[in-house]
Amino acid sequence: MSERLQPGDQAPAFTLPDADGNEVSLSDHKGRKVIVYFYPAALTPGCTKQACDFTDNLELLTGAGYDVIGISPDKPEKLAKFRDTESLKVTLLADPDKKVLDAYGAFGEKKNYGKTYLGVIRSTIVVDEAGKVERALYNVRATGHVAKIIKDLGI
């Protein structure tokens, strides 16, 4: 289990396949701010709500200079189904070996109904134009989170 990122840290570089199998790197977004959010599983209620919220606010976010990338341990085929089923516009990336999730501190111990297990910690990292962590939010809620980010970023 890796350390959680802190504001000012260099955001770990990554290259992952998107829903169509194309490689996407964090460095592709150099010069723009990037909201990287980590979610447990495509096509589940909370993750669908969060992805739809980001999609509904994507124009507002991109207009303010932010790109949005969602990362989960799902395979590209499942991400494509998720995107198509929910008409998602955000970039969805596959991290089945959880290397990026781990590098960002978004994979680790979770508690649910008194049981402790390893899983994806719903997290959002805001990366600035220079590739540094501007904000690192962990254990966020799926519902209302996007509105909170927009408010906190002053958009």
Give the residues across from 117 on adjacent strands.
110
Catalytic residue among 47, 61, 101, 142: 47
Mean pLDDT of 120-148: 94
Structural domain harbouring 107: 7-151
Domain count for the chain, please give it.
1
- Band (pLDDT 50/70/90 cuts) for residue 117 is confident
Q: Is residue 2 part of a domain?
A: no
Give the number of other CB atoms < 10 A from CB of residue 137.
16
Cβ–Cβ under 8 Å, residues 91 and 60: no
Q: Is residue 83 part of a domain?
A: yes
pLDDT at 2: 62
CA torsion sign for 90, 1, 8, 149 is: positive
Instruction: Report the half-sphere exposure of 89 (CA within 13 A, side-chain side).
Output: 11
Q: Is residue 50 part of a domain?
A: yes
Taking every pair of Cα atoms in the chain, the longest distance, rounded to a whole number of angstroms, is 44
The residue whose two tokens read 């606010």 is: 57
Cβ–Cβ under 8 Å, residues 61 and 150: yes
Q: Is residue 1 part of a domain?
A: no
**What are the tens digits of pLDDT across the range 37-49?**
999 999 999 899 9
Q: Is residue 76 part of a domain?
A: yes
**Phi/psi class of residue 5: alpha, beta or left (left: φ > 0; alpha: ψ in -120 to 50)?**
beta
pLDDT at 111 over 90: no
Q: Is residue 77 part of a domain?
A: yes
* Total-model pTM: 0.95
**In this structure, what CATH number is given to the domain that contains residue 46?**
3.40.30.10
Give yes or no: 52 in active site. Answer: no
3-state secondary structure of 65: coil
